[in-house]
Structure 1
Amino acid sequence: MAGSNSNSNGPDLALGIALTDLPDGGKLVGHRDGEPVLLVRRGAEIFAVGAKCSHYGGPLIDGLVADDTVRCPWHHACFDLRTGEALRAPALSPLACWSVEQRDGKIFVGEKRKKPSPAARESNAGPSPERIVLIGGGAAGFAAAERLRREQYQGAIVMISDDDAPPVDRPNLSKDYLAGKAPEDWIPLRSEAFYAKNNIELRLGTKVAGIDVRAREVVLAGGEQVAFDKLLLATGAEPLRLTIPGADQPHVHTLRSLADSRRIIAQIGAARCAVVLGASFIGLEVAASLRTRGVEVHVVAPEERPMERVLGPKMGDFIRRLHEENGVVFHLGETATSIGSDQVVLKSGSTLAADLIVAGIGVRPRVDLAEAAGLTTDRGVLVDAYLETSVPGIYAAGDIARWPDPRSGANIRVEHWVVAQRQGATAALNMLGRRVKFTDVPFFWSQHYDIPINYVGHAEGWDAIDLEGDIAAKDCLLRFKRGGQVLAVVTIFRDTESLEAELAMERGTA
């Protein structure tokens, strides 16, 4: 994966290192029994944990230590230095931990510590719910189920998904997996055995017809009723479909699910040229993946420059040049009016040859169930700071949730994978009565060839963009401001500064 690389050999920590080699606040990578170990010193305490992030293996030596945690430089996962626990998505698995001893002015790393047996964590809000139902098998739904069991919740968990595949690592579907660089076994978030072992009833290919709020039941399409004590709506978003003539042909695709990605991959071998409709993040990641596989790619989009609405004009120009340097041809200020068996007709009257077409023209939140159940909606499902909807006991998380942003004071809805995961975990805690406010700073990453773009914060509009570094040199930081306040920070190959910006936003010091 993209990011900085560090030598993880270092000293044999079983033999010890001088205490002076690890100053207060310092980090050092060595090894113990062949495994890379990260040492972190916080005052008199020294922690020894796995040196690689459990998400994609990011080098934690390049991460940020804040309080008693370490944050991954690549995708902003966060781990507890004392226990190794994965505190924040996108990481789910903990880091290994080792014992540490100080003697004779040296630091020695001892045996790997056994993972402590988790104890049930009691709620302060009365009895635990007997059954929790999760509607949605995406990032938020999975994160909620995983967190419930991690918290030693003993009741029933039913996850209802209309997808045919268990929860998958969806960002990979338009990135390395589509490009042919990620193996199939990277894609499931957990193996099928995980659900059986954790007693999570996973109902795949199952459609929900409605929610009976008064009876506290989910009604399935076949008429079956599933009772719940607490309910999480995590239905996500669905791609906008083309409505132009020819859009229903088998070589025209959207990309949201594993099945979508597999269908595209199945046609790549016979495809000489592809047209991507839309210059969204998904559309451009698809373009990059197809170019990696040697397919000729044309991108058609109505805007003057790609991604300007989200990243501003300078970054938009950079992204266009980056893709053009890799052989992508842009047709901006254009839209498709019809699709034939081997071509796309544009509004200007010109035609593009196309054996394969992928539409990335946006998504819409799937709020139909919430609306029919009488939940309050406003371009999403409105929730409070605890992610609870207008109906007590029913929560919403992920792409459908519109929540009060503590930094801007506005209600916002964000379609980011990491946000959905973190909201799912927070909703799980609140369904157990913990009363934890969701205050995480939104974060996402996008990958274009070997260039990662990290984005922290949320800026729907701005009056200034401060630039540090050189965008063309792929070494930059941009601050998106309104009224002098930093709303969002975008970086390329400035991982530490991206983490520092996230931390400053959390602490209100940005």
Structure 2
Amino acid sequence: MAGNHSAPSGPDLALGIALADLPDGGKLVGHRDGEPVLLVRRGAEIFAVTATCSHYGGPLADGLVADDSVRCPWHHACFDLRTGEALRAPALSPLACWSVEQRGDRIFVGEKRKKPAPAPRESDAGGSQERIVIVGGGAAGFAAAERLRREQYQGAIVVISDDEALPVDRPNLSKDYLAGKAPEDWIPLRKESFYARNGIDLRLATRVADIDVGAREVVLGDGARVAFNKLLLATGAEPVRLSIPGADQPHVHTLRSLADSRKIIAQSGAAQRAVVLGASFIGLEVAASLRTRGVEVHVVAPEERPMERVLGPEMGDFIRALHEEKGVIFHLGDTAASIGASEVVLSSGSTLAADMVVAGIGVRPRVDLAERAGLATDRGVLVDAYLETSVPGIYAAGDIARWPDPHSGESIRVEHWVVAERQGAAAALNMLGHRKRFTDVPFFWSQHYDVPINYVGHAEGWDAIEVEGDVTAKDCLLRYKRGGRLLAVATIFRDAESLEAELAMEQSNA
């Protein structure tokens, strides 16, 4: 992912700094051999790690130190200060670490520490004959495979994906990549060589037709069978398709895959006007990206305010005004009735010119496999606190999983990228027998032009919203409560407070 390649700032840490310049609990950014280094003091211990997050290059000095870890202010990745290990998604790559020496009342940063070599893995023939099969090549499936190898799992790993592309950084498909601000090489989570190097049998463009629970096999679309000892279902969600006349034309798009994003980009070059159906996060991010490319954008949605169901009326009004400032034209309280070759006819009778149409009217979890296999489902695949389904040895993670959330006390299903990655990693640990409860607080971010919205927790409904700060000034924190209990927090440009809210919710789960 993107890093911070600006000139190093702060003191040259090889020359040392005064101990008094780094109080207990303090952070300081300097550099060593041209690389930005973050110093963190925890009592008598001082840690030195890369100063920028390995996900998108967020400034860790602005993050939160909790115990012996540091959390990124942008997207809430978490790193071990002792080892640099990426403890939580969305970061997957570790931070570099440096040796630190205290001489009298000064601190010196020495050489970069070498990463310990992983224990050698035995070959399948000479080692474990176990096989873990992962169905799905999205965030959860990738994170599970990556974590299994990081934990030095010795058995075979087979990842079966019906996508033609390597696992990708999906949030970018509607954000920077779609807007033309992110290069193609940002998009794969790992290069193709990663899978071969780590002994991960990644089968792309491959459909799983059924799960034979009794035989412990998955049945592929061509009739071939793949045996498993443990199985992870990470089939994700699929866009809700339009059912109106004209929805099957080549200039009508949904956005879920890299191929989808590429098609929209290709058409946007010649398009003058686009109609986005739906004022969801994905729809509005597409609107922002297309406006960045100079396309005229009309957004059609049935609700009164965009995002009101998730963020409430005040934030909804702000989001609408933000997009209108950038030239987006809203048609709210309306829906599309039909799509022609160059226009969209609305239910109200209005007609909008359209060279291209993007439908962002929601997604539905892909639970067909689970249902046919007899797994317990209820608006998703039901899992326990360890992400195990009703069939022992079969786990589910990501958009399809409905799990018992300790903070809200409810069984919830969340369609967020970071949650999927974290669940994939947790499921991997549990397939290895660690018995780790999934208690992470849900987190997502949305980007609208230069305005990021961070959201921690989960509130399907609330009876009170407390607003701190000024939403219109893009400096605010909103608390979503029900019965006096805090369920979620949304922030704009209050990154530290977002991290603190997440930590407080985690501690209440303990």
Name the structure 1 match of 2:491: 491
Q: If the length of structure 2 is used for normalisation, what is the TM-score?
A: 0.97
Matched, 1:328 2:332: no
Name the structure 2 match of 1:410: 410
User: Deviations 1:219-264 (Å, cap 9, x if unpaired)?
Assistant: 0000000000000000000000000000000000000000000011
Aligned 1:125-164 pairs, distance under 5 A:
130-164=130-164
Matched, 1:259 2:268: no
Q: Distance in 2 between matches of 1:441 and 1:61?
A: 22
Letter in 2 for 1:332: L
Q: Distance in 1 between matches of 2:159 and 2:379?
A: 25
Name the structure 1 match of 2:14: 14
Aligned 1:71-82 pairs, distance under 5 A:
71-82=71-82
Name the structure 1 match of 2:96: 96
User: Deviations 1:39-74 (Å, cap 9, x if unpaired)?
Assistant: 000000000000000000000000000000000000
CA contact (8 A) 1:6 1:61 kept: no
In structure 1, runs of 5+ residues without a counterpart are 122-126
- SS at structure 2 position matched to 1:284: helix
Q: Distance in 2 between matches of 1:419 and 1:474?
A: 26
Q: Distance in 1 between matches of 2:373 and 2:120?
A: 33
Letter in 1 for 2:150: R
Offset at 1:7? 8.9
Identity of aligned residues (%): 85
Name the structure 1 match of 2:448: 448
CA gap 1:5/1:315 in 2 versus in 1, 3 angstroms:
farther
Offset at 1:5? 13
> RMSD across aligned C-alpha pairs, in angstroms?
1.8
Name the structure 1 match of 2:86: 86
Matched, 1:310 2:279: no
Name the structure 2 match of 1:53: 53
Letter in 1 for 2:234: A
Name the structure 2 match of 1:189: 189
Offset at 1:483? 1.1
- SS at structure 1 position matched to 2:476: strand
Letter in 2 for 1:367: V
Offset at 1:31? 0.3
Q: Distance in 1 between matches of 2:509 and 2:317?
A: 31
- SS at structure 1 position matched to 2:149: helix
Q: Distance in 2 between matches of 1:129 and 1:44?
A: 46
Q: Distance in 1 between matches of 2:348 and 2:77?
A: 46
Offset at 1:269? 1.0
Name the structure 1 match of 2:124: none
Offset at 1:6? 11
- SS at structure 2 position matched to 1:241: coil
CA contact (8 A) 1:240 1:362 kept: yes
Name the structure 2 match of 1:285: 285
Aligned 1:214-293 pairs, distance under 5 A:
214-293=214-293
CA contact (8 A) 2:407 2:509 kept: no
Q: Distance in 2 between matches of 1:254 and 1:97?
A: 43
Matched, 1:207 2:232: no
CA contact (8 A) 1:6 1:59 kept: no
Name the structure 2 match of 1:43: 43
- SS at structure 2 position matched to 1:219: strand
Q: Distance in 2 between matches of 1:310 and 1:484?
A: 18
In structure 2, runs of 5+ residues without a counterpart are 122-126
CA contact (8 A) 1:273 1:353 kept: yes
CA contact (8 A) 2:84 2:96 kept: yes
Offset at 1:484? 1.1
Name the structure 1 match of 2:356: 356
Structure 1 ranges of 4+ moved more than 4 A? 4-8
CA contact (8 A) 2:277 2:336 kept: yes
Q: Distance in 2 between matches of 1:30 and 1:353?
A: 54
Q: Distance in 1 between matches of 2:15 and 2:270?
A: 57
Name the structure 2 match of 1:124: none
CA gap 1:322/1:140 in 2 versus in 1, 3 angstroms:
same
Name the structure 2 match of 1:345: 345
CA contact (8 A) 1:129 1:229 kept: no
- SS at structure 1 position matched to 2:177: helix
User: Deviations 1:295-337 (Å, cap 9, x if unpaired)?
Assistant: 0000000000000000000000000000000000000000000
CA gap 1:304/1:344 in 2 versus in 1, 3 angstroms:
same
- SS at structure 2 position matched to 1:508: helix
Name the structure 1 match of 2:294: 294
Letter in 2 for 1:117: A
Q: Distance in 1 between matches of 2:378 and 2:48?
A: 47
- SS at structure 1 position matched to 2:312: helix
User: Deviations 1:133-155 (Å, cap 9, x if unpaired)?
Assistant: 00000000000000000001111
Letter in 2 for 1:226: V
Matched, 1:436 2:431: no
Name the structure 1 match of 2:373: 373
Q: If the length of structure 1 is used for normalisation, what is the TM-score?
A: 0.97
User: Deviations 1:175-206 (Å, cap 9, x if unpaired)?
Assistant: 00000000000000000000000010000000
CA contact (8 A) 2:439 2:509 kept: no
CA contact (8 A) 1:129 1:230 kept: no
CA contact (8 A) 2:137 2:163 kept: yes
